């Protein structure tokens, strides 16, 4: 059997920084020059961090955050979809089976896959600078990392449709009013508030917390197979269209797209 080629190690500063705060692991995306867009290397680094969270019995909760005033701009288009990991699926998180609570601490944009990372978390703390959106349709794409079914699960259906069909983002205040955001803070305060929320969770019995989370997730994910199949069907149809090619070309050429509906 042919063995896969080993991936070259990432050179330069770490793409993900982890910090222990007692029982809480903070996972910080640090690809600031690309607005924390996820490529192969960042996905692998996130996967490693979430493996640590799940496997270390001394850690009882996690916080995912960004850097440089940005949570995440989603997928790096140059990665061509190469950001899937063995345990976590896309971005090291999207399909991960977790038992420990994970809180998203959002400052600035969480767009496309960035919002899908947020939707993969259990709780959300956001600063007033946060923006949440699924802009894929502007590029002739669809949200492929569970946004098409986790969005309507986390938000009122009509608001989820608005995000999906217009590509326009909503701000943190509207996200809080709609129930997506658990705690709203001033600029720069999301991480501290997320840590406080995580520590509140860690004051409880870890087995009870983990079993409760697993039970909720088991119920919520009962229709996920249908959601993933519907997403694959939509993705296949879009990838076969001329508009998909036009959307990518227009983005790279920094011009308005010329849609044909074909």
Catalytic residues: 136
Cβ–Cβ < 8 Å for 248, 139 = yes
Contacts of 138 (CB under 8 A, 6+ apart): 167, 247, 257
Contact (CB, 8 A) for 87 and 52? no
* CA 258 to each of CA 103, 114, 242, 247: distance values in angstroms, whole numbers, following the listed order: 40, 26, 10, 8
Q: Quote the tokens at residue 135.
A: 């802009």
């Amino acid at each position: 059997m042919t063995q896969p080629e080993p991936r070259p190690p990432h050179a330069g500063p770490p793409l993900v920084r982890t910090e222990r705060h007692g029982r809480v692991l903070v996972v910080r995306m640090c690809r600031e020059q690309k607005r924390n867009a996820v490529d192969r290397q960042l996905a692998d680094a996130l996967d490693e961090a979430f493996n640590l969270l799940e496997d270390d019995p001394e850690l009882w909760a996690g916080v995912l955050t960004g850097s440089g005033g940005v949570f995440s701009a989603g997928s790096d288009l140059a990665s061509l979809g190469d950001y899937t990991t063995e345990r976590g699926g896309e971005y090291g998180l999207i399909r991960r089976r977790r038992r420990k609570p994970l809180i998203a601490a959002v400052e600035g944009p969480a767009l496309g896959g960035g919002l899908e990372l947020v939707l993969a978390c259990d709780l959300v703390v956001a600063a007033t600078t946060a923006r949440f959106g699924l802009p894929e349709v502007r590029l002739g794409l669809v949200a492929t990392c569970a946004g098409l079914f986790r969005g309507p699960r986390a938000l009122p259906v009509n608001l989820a449709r608005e995000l999906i069909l217009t590509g326009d983002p909503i701000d943190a205040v509207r996200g809080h009013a709609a129930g997506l955001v658990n705690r709203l803070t001033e600029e720069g305060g999301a991480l501290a508030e997320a840590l406080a929320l995580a520590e509140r969770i860690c004051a409880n019995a870890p087995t009870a917390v983990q079993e409760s989370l697993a039970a909720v997730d088991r119920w919520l994910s009962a229709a996920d197979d249908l959601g993933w199949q519907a997403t694959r069907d939509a993705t296949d149809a879009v990838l076969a269209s001329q508009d998909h090619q036009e959307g990518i070309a227009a983005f790279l050429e920094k011009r308005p797209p010329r849609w044909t509906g074909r």
